[in-house]
Amino acid sequence: MTEVPDWLDRLATQAQRIRVPRYLRPPDGAGRAAAVLMLFGEGPLGPDVLLIQRSTRGRRHAGQPAFPGGGVDPDDGGPVAAALREAEEETGVDPSGVHVLCTMPELYLNHSDNRVTPVIAWWREPSAVHAASPHEVDSVERVPVAELVDPGNRIMLRHPSGMAGPAFQVRGMLVWGFTAMVLDTVLREGGLERPWDPTRVEDLPQHVIDLASRG
């Protein structure tokens, strides 16, 4: 068992205080409640965070790296329980070894009509993880924070609409969209970000666009 490190305490404190941009604020009464688990741990290469690669066979977010998570079911009682349940179903993580630190402000995703609550947690007793739900998840990765903040792994990614957002190239994955936006915000607000070049802009690859267009 390991204690929550100081850097994660600071990160969690700042994450609760972020100002949600207007375009991510949930409209009154709109959207389905959902939650994702941002699970930080201490791995062989230092602090890391758990990410999944969604199945290319799925209809929604096909092939995209993401945090474990999904919709809040009535029996969950709220976003924390939903995030832990989904993480267990998707990766096999043992919730009893997870210490939840906080929830971030709710974020609204217009394209999927979801109101998503990111749940930040510390993996005090790591358990083995794998693609526990093969029809939803292709692979599971513990991605070192050092790789996420490496300036060489950071780019701005341009969507065909012309909009551009932060992205990470790590572990053979292109982390973009909602997941990259949350990671970018949390790492910056938590004081972990290293200076990088936001003028390094690349177009979203066509195969990623094709997968994303499914739903």
pLDDT tens-digit map of 55-114: 877 656 667 999 999 999 999 999 999 999 999 999 999 999 999 999 999 999 988 899
Q: Is 60 exceeded by the pLDDT of residue 133?
A: yes
Q: Is 60 exceeded by the pLDDT of residue 215?
A: no
With bands split at pLDDT 50, 70 and 90, how would you rate the model's confidence at 33? very high
Mean pLDDT, residues 203-213 taken together: 86
At CA 177, angle to CA 172 and CA 182, rounded to 5?
95
What is the model's pTM?
Answer: 0.94
First to last CA, the chain: 41
How large a percentage of the chain has pLDDT more than 70?
Answer: 96
Residues 6+ apart with CB under 8 A from 102: 12, 13, 15, 16, 119, 120
Residues 6+ apart with CB under 8 A from 27: 108
Could you tell me which residue, 121 or 215, shows the higher pLDDT?
A: 121
pLDDT tens-digit map of 144-203: 999 999 999 999 999 998 999 999 999 999 999 999 999 999 999 999 999 999 999 999
The token pair that represents 44 in the structure block: 């062989």
Widest CA span of the chain, in angstroms? 47
CA distance 23 to 11: 23
